[in-house]
Structure 1
């Protein structure tokens, strides 16, 4: 079974985190949520999220993809965590998928994952970076790297992740169950 890690940091964007987790699980993908520290994660709008495990425990396993929810200051907490940066670099070096939405695209940039890539983010978070071609598209995939703009694109992003990991037919089935227009 395909396995995805979703790290959760205090101040993450809950709409993005929950949408990603929910839709991947609807797609039959094993999702492990990991808090940067033990205990409840308080998201950017005060919603409390309970991670499955701590990041320290999660790092003992292997994943097909790591997906970073955005939000502030959650994305900054991810960027400042050396374990996250090292994990992203290892994933990229192993030819595995890395993904981020909203402000968390800056974490991929910090890890060097966006070098020579086309990517998108919440407006302003990738501006001025050399080596990154910034797009305003809702979702951008460049090889094994997927990025998205923000809370309003979370569903499109999560569906793109489902399709990337399990195929277009599974994405169609997941999307049909959502009764999207």
Structure 2
């Protein structure tokens, strides 16, 4: 079974975190939510409290097929402060493993040079932090092992793309049909 870790930091955008969790689990993919702080309780940007499955230091991530960064503010800034997470992302990228980032979260990848020469997108206003990326402004971009999405409005498309990359286009299409995505 494929394994995904979705990282939650204080101030994360709830839709951008929960939509991938829900869609990936519907696709029978093993998803673990991970708090980047030392507590499982994480408050989203709109004051919705989520209880992560684990805290960062409880995971070794060696079984991961995909790492996902939801956006939101100040969630993205809090993700960007977690040095161990950034090191993990660099290591994952070197291995060619899958990484997904939505909204402002692609700036975490951009800051580490992981988007260099790649098509990428992000929430408007953060383009200058996608270091050496080709910012497209599209709702969704797939560049090799990295998927970026623009924001809340692209959350379902982002989640279905992650399913497609892990289980195939047909699985994603079938799931979208079951969920009545039009």
TM-score (norm 2): 0.96
Moved over 4 A (4+): none
Whether contact under 8 Å (1:32, 1:58) holds in the other structure is no
In structure 2, relative to structure 1, the CA distance for the partners of 1:75 and 1:135 (3 Å cut) is same
How far apart are the structure 1 equivalents of 2:111 and 2:28? 31
Whether the aligned pair in 2 keeps the contact of 1:75 and 1:107 (CA below 8 Å) is yes
2:23 maps to 23
Partner of 1:84: 85
- Equivalence for 2:40: 39
What SS does the corresponding residue of 2:19 show, helix, strand or coil? helix
> Between Structure 1 and Structure 2, how many residues are aligned?
181
Task: Extract unaligned runs of 5+ from structure 2.
Answer: none
Q: Deviations over 1:77-133 (max 9, x none)?
A: 011110110010010011101110000010111122111111000012122654210
Secondary structure of 1:59 counterpart: coil
- In the other structure, the counterpart of 2:179 is 178
Q: TM-score, normalised by structure 1?
A: 0.96
Q: Distance in 2 between matches of 1:92 and 1:82?
A: 15
CA–CA distance in 1 between the matches of 2:159 and 2:129? 27
Partner of 1:150: 151
CA distance change for structure 1 residues 129 and 155 in 2, over 3 Å: closer, same or farther? closer
- Equivalent residues of 1:67, 1:100 under 8 A apart: yes
Q: Distance in 2 between matches of 1:139 and 1:119?
A: 8
RMSD of aligned alpha carbons: 1.2
- The unaligned stretches of length 5 or more in structure 1 are none
Alignment map for 1:69-148 (pairs within 5 Å): 69-127=70-128, 129-148=130-149
Shift of 1:39: 2.6
